[in-house]
């Protein structure tokens, strides 16, 4: 008996589900099914292991672009300079991977896939390189940034499970992380949602160094 290919796939691999015509992240097995999560997040789904295979570079690229466009639709779009193709930043594995996908697309004459690779490369560079390059650094200033002891930190969680749209349910600001975790457990019991975005906020002051 031939072992289903899903049994040979490592957790975290992007796979193609032929029964739904979707690409998802392989999370593992749940009984007789393969559990998959949409690229970029969302509600998991159960797939027949026999219909699952590793996604091709083109399928991974297309799914990543759709996820990036979805995030841009939420107000995260950036005015990129598209006059010239972006160049990979040296010693950056993510840049190298996207540049390789672009090279393969160009070699086989797939203009759409080449454009998609450029879109993802620009967004990656803006998010992970431009922000660092333009970050203001204080040097030779006799101050230290410390947490304000007179202000309580805040913890919060928001449910981001969902097929097309996030659930959106939120714990609200809490002064104790245990309160947020208890809300997550209760929400999961009521809805079976399992993916949350957690945030922490505190207050900082610049204190003169001795």
What would the pLDDT profile of 83-92 be if each residue is shown by its tens digit?
Answer: 578 888 888 8
Taking residues 7-30, report their average pLDDT.
Answer: 85
Q: Give per-residue pLDDT as tens, 108-143.
A: 887 777 887 888 888 777 777 765 555 555 566 677
Q: How far is CA 169 from CA 110, 116, 165, 172, 184, in A?
A: 41, 32, 12, 9, 10
Model pLDDT for residues 175-207, shown as the tens digit of each residue: 888 999 999 999 999 999 999 999 988 888 887
pLDDT over 70 for what percent of the chain?
Answer: 83
Q: Please answer whether residues 86 and 120 qualify as being in contact, where contact means their C-beta atoms are separated by less than 8 angstroms.
A: no
Task: For the beta carbon of residue 52, count every other beta carbon within 10 angstroms.
Answer: 24
**Strand ranges, E, within 52-142:** 52-54
- Greatest alpha-carbon span in the chain: 73
5-54 CATH choice from 3.90.550, 2.60.40, 2.30.30, 3.10.310: 2.30.30
CA angle 17, 18, 21 (to 5 degrees): 80
Domain coordinates in residue numbering, the chain: 5-54, 57-133, 143-208
Tell the residue number behind the tokens 């947020």, with chain if given.
180
Q: Look at the pTM and tell me if it is higher than 0.85.
A: no
CA dihedral angle for residue 156, residue 123, residue 66, residue 26, rounded to 10 degrees: -70
**Residue 75 CA to chain centroid, in angstroms?**
16
Q: Are 16 and 55 in contact (CB under 8 A)?
A: yes
**Token digits of residue 151:** 């202000």
- The predicted structure's pLDDT at residue 88: 86
Question: E strand or H helix at 183, and its extent?
Answer: helix 177-191
∠ CA 98-103-107, nearest 5°, is 150
Share of the chain above pLDDT 90, in %: 13
Specify the pLDDT at position 140: 61
């Amino acid at each position: 008996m031939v072992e289903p290919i899903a049994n040979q796939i490592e957790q975290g691999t992007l796979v193609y589900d032929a029964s739904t015509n979707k690409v998802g992240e392989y999370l593992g097995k749940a009984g007789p099914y393969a559990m998959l999560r949409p690229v970029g997040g969302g509600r998991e789904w159960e797939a027949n292991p026999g219909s699952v295979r590793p996604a091709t570079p083109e399928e991974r690229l297309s799914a990543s672009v759709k996820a990036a466009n979805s995030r841009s639709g939420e107000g995260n779009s950036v005015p990129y300079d598209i006059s010239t193709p972006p160049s990979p930043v040296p010693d950056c594995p993510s840049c190298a991977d996207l540049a390789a996908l672009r090279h393969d697309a160009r070699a086989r004459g797939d203009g759409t896939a080449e454009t998609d690779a450029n879109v993802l490369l620009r967004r990656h560079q803006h998010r992970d390189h431009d922000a660092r390059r333009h970050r203001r650094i204080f040097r030779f200033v006799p101050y230290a940034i410390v947490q304000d002891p007179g202000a309580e930190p805040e913890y919060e969680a928001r449910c981001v499970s969902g097929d097309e749209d996030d659930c959106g349910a939120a714990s609200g600001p809490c002064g104790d992380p245990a309160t947020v975790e208890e809300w997550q457990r209760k929400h999961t019991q009521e809805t079976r949602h399992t993916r949350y975005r957690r945030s922490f906020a505190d207050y900082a002051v610049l204190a003169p160094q001795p």
